[in-house]
Structure 1
Amino acid sequence: MQLNKILLTVIGISVLYGCHKIDLPPHQQEESAGVVYDWYKFIAKVQRPANPQPVVLLNFRNFAFIGVGLYEAVRNGNKNAESLSSSLYQMPAMPQADAWQRYLWSESANAALAMMFKLFLTLTDANKASIDSMEKVNYDRFSQTTSDAVLHRSQAFGRAIAEAIYNWSTTDKFNLSSVGYVPPPVTPASWVPTLPAFATVGPFLHDSRPFLWYSVTALAPEPLEFSENPSSKFYKAVKEVYDIGKHLTDAQKATANWYADAGGPGVGVPAPYHALSIITWVNENQKAKLFEAAEVYAKTGIAFKDGGIITFRSKYHYNLIRPITYIQRDIDATWLPYLPTPPYPEYTSGLLGAWAPFIQVLKKEYGDIEVTDNAYDWRGLPARHFTSLSNLEDEAAISRVYGGLHYKWTQEVSMKMGKKLADEIADIKLVSNKNKHP
């Protein structure tokens, strides 16, 4: 009798499934990340000609939230994934997908990215219209294989995530202004505003809410002991920058320019698109599917924001003199760095504050793989090929020494700080059964 009941139940379910098209509960799908890669390449083209160019530190921060939002928009499609709200500092609970409804996570990503770009980035009306058009093209493409009910549900969920992420971002106290900042007493070791703008940027950035508890108080170690004695390590480090700057080769100048991303609309690559182009290249080259790609964009985004906060906390805590000030005062009054000196203290490195941890995140995900940096292919410049991500990081670090902006030892410490931050990011447990590279 019991067996007959079970058979009747099975037959009834079979008939039901055969007669009606129903939405099955979501399950782990191997959706392509193509829509995500297309969006990141598209928005780079949109902002590249912007005049004025996006504010570097602000744009890094914005894309950090966008990466986290992308992950939240698709993570319900992976049955083993957890929300970042359970790991990140003061992150509220995010909207939840209906566990008994079907979603197309590519459409959730499509809707979330389109909305977040418009919410976070400085765009013209024409830019926003192009984003709307791109979103519709993707939606229409998905509609060829997915029902309207599923697409509408997926679109609404992506937009709900975008709105929640943006609302959370408005409380992070991100402040690049120097209004109200009182510099410490000037000593021979002190940073002072320099050419070309004699400005001060970011002294309160350390108060911005980070993504990790670790980053609330993280600080670089004490810098090399300052000295004006020609036999001291500090003087020799300064003299090294001076000597390199006096005899720069064309290749060294090209390296400095490559990572400076300067020159304005149509010439440079506004931040953080150079870094994002590398992240996207690596994800594509490693054939990352949607969920893994979203996780990488989220974790590298965390590196962008928290790396900047830790860097600027360290900069204004130690307030260390820039090479241009030391050299012109103690070595050669006519010396100028190859690149313009940024308007904040020297230690630690602003470039490596973002680059060192994001590169280490990629190494944690994929290993120390070969990488191609084609950030300037749109200008016809040849790509740079590296046998490892570590070699890419080394070149980015030395580029700032060639530019006359940092001491070598500052770059070395900055890379160590980036690796430490990336280790903290890697400790975020999002997918319990996923193997990582050591």
Structure 2
Amino acid sequence: MQFLSRFILFIFLFSFLSCNKESIRITPNDYHLMVDKLTEVMIHDIFSPPVASRIYAYPNIAAYQVLNSENGVYQSLENQLNELKNISTISFDKKANKQLAALIAYLDVAKEVVFSKEKITVFRDSLYNNWEQKNNTEFTASKKYALAISKSILEWMHADMYKETRTMPAFNVYSDDASRWQPTPPAYMQGIEPNWSKIRPFVLDSAAQFKPIPPPKFSMEKGTPFHTELMDLYNLTNEIIKKGNDSEEVAIAQFWDCNPFVVVNKGHFMFASKKITPGAHWIGICKIATQKSNSDFEKTVFVYTKTSIAITDAFISCWDEKYRSNLIRPETLINKYIDEDWYPLLQTPPFPEYTSGHSVVSGASAEVLTDIFGDNFAFDDTTEIPYGLPTRSFTSFRDAAKEAAISRIYGGIHYNAAVENGLTQGINIGNFIIKKLEF
């Protein structure tokens, strides 16, 4: 009888303690850790800038929806983003932890958008084990809710035409048109993502909604607007070269390079130098801004989500124009007509020139971040430290966007029109997203 009483008491105490475990504490830094891990895997897998933008957006949207599908701090994106509807109506279990569920949903979508799924899975499983040990009841309820939401997001994602574009024809580089883009050294890669305009935008009505004005008409005749821009670029870059590698222009160009396709030749070997993309740089600025402002978990997810949506739509809009105008790069023309020994400070990326992707993406990102944090949000940009580049300081997000845009001219890879019109294109996209989405 005494044994039975002790056994019952043991069961009671065990049940009591199990049911009264502390809630799993989640902080904004936990979310930064998710994003940083995804960036790490993306660098390893070497994704193009447009594809990388898509990879950031969907996990952020999944996490955001977990927090805001039901009684959230912000508005649900259901029926706001193109074709996003019928999100799982699973009721939120009071035993679940929404912030924990947001991390789980993020990881569930993240592993489906990269090549190295096992890297995300191993990372996820280690976290799962930790959370399960801390509070199995809360973890199980949170996971159930998270996976129901992420399942709906993945179904919506798979209908955005990405899979279909994987099998569409490659870009035809053969043409008698002297203005048409041609592959550039050292790898002479084909134009990447020529069908990216067919990807479903998140907020834009179509890829062509913010079609920029055309570039100056191609002409190698002296005095024409196009030839003048070409010669201005050639003369400016020569002046920068004379200043040496310690010049401010070189520092700016290198800081904003963000080219994941840089090819390095060492003897008989050719390999890629892995870097982040321009979109990833602005995702890094999201981290800096949320940490500086002491943003809570919900606001941190909101900032990443809104910015990644803007970045993705900016790439869709920019790539729509790139393969419409198919404009030749400065390097090709300068080597052929002006100076065969000239080469740009930065390696020319493998796609047409107009408009400048950095300019479009930076313009859109800066408008969104300015809308959230204000126009005079000064910050130290440490994003490039892991890649051997020092910190640069900015008085505002727009200040950073302007520098990102001009960096492409200093680098010798864009004409002035691509930068100026690209920045305007991005600003228009950013403002459209700000006005159309209700957060």
Same fold (TM over 0.5): yes
Aligned mate of 2:217, from 207, 220, 225: 225
Give 1:267 shift. Answer: 6.4
Partners of 2:358 and 2:316 in 1: how far apart?
12
SS at match of 2:256: helix
Give 1:401 shift. Answer: 1.0
Partners of 2:427 and 2:213 in 1: how far apart?
14
Alignment of 1:51-200 (within 5 A): 52-76=45-69, 78-79=71-72, 81-98=74-91, 101=94, 103-123=96-116, 125-138=118-131, 140=133, 143=135, 148-174=136-162, 175=165, 179=169, 181-182=171-172, 186-196=176-186, 197-200=188-191
8 Å CA contact 2:303, 2:369 repeated in 1: yes
Q: Which amino acid aligns with 2:382?
A: N
Partners of 1:261 and 1:191 in 2: how far apart?
21
Count how many residue pairs are aligned between Structure 1 and Structure 2. 398
Partners of 2:391 and 2:131 in 1: how far apart?
29
Partners of 1:82 and 1:124 in 2: how far apart?
31
Instruction: Report the CA distance shift for 1:372/1:266 in structure 2 as closer, same or farther (over 3 A).
Output: farther
Superposed CA offset, 1:14-53 (max 9, x none) = xxxxxx9xx9xxxxxx9843321222233334554x2x53
Give 1:374 shift. Answer: 0.8
Match of 1:41 in 2: 36
Partners of 1:428 and 1:287 in 2: how far apart?
27
Match of 2:8 in 1: none
Q: Which runs of 5+ in 1 are unaligned?
A: 1-19, 24-29, 432-438
Superposed CA offset, 1:279-303 (max 9, x none) = 1111121222222222222211212
Give 1:101 shift. Answer: 3.6
Partners of 1:217 and 1:139 in 2: how far apart?
47
8 Å CA contact 1:54, 1:122 repeated in 2: no
Match of 2:403 in 1: 395
Q: State which drifts further: 323-332 or 354-363.
A: 323-332
Partners of 2:117 and 2:148 in 1: how far apart?
23
8 Å CA contact 2:75, 2:438 repeated in 1: yes
Q: TM-score, with normalisation over the residues of structure 2? A: 0.81
Partners of 2:410 and 2:388 in 1: how far apart?
23
8 Å CA contact 1:279, 1:297 repeated in 2: yes
Partners of 1:203 and 1:288 in 2: how far apart?
38
Q: TM-score, with normalisation over the residues of structure 1? A: 0.82
Partners of 1:416 and 1:299 in 2: how far apart?
19
Give 1:419 shift. Answer: 0.8
Q: CA RMSD in A?
A: 2.9
Superposed CA offset, 1:371-404 (max 9, x none) = 2211133356431111111221121111111221
Superposed CA offset, 1:238-273 (max 9, x none) = 112111222324232332222223568996533343
Q: Does 1:280 align with 2:272?
A: no
Alignment of 1:172-321 (within 5 A): 172-174=160-162, 175=165, 179=169, 181-182=171-172, 186-196=176-186, 197-218=188-209, 219-248=211-240, 249-250=244-245, 251=247, 252-262=249-259, 268-271=274-277, 272-321=279-328
Q: Which amino acid aligns with 1:388?
A: S
Instruction: Report the CA distance shift for 1:266/1:134 in structure 2 as closer, same or farther (over 3 A).
Output: farther
8 Å CA contact 2:168, 2:195 repeated in 1: yes
Q: Does 1:418 align with 2:426?
A: yes
Q: Which amino acid aligns with 2:226?
A: F
Using the aligned pairs only, state the percent identity.
24
Partners of 1:47 and 1:89 in 2: how far apart?
25
Match of 1:27 in 2: none
Q: Which runs of 5+ in 2 are unaligned?
A: 1-15, 20-24, 264-270
Partners of 1:316 and 1:169 in 2: how far apart?
24
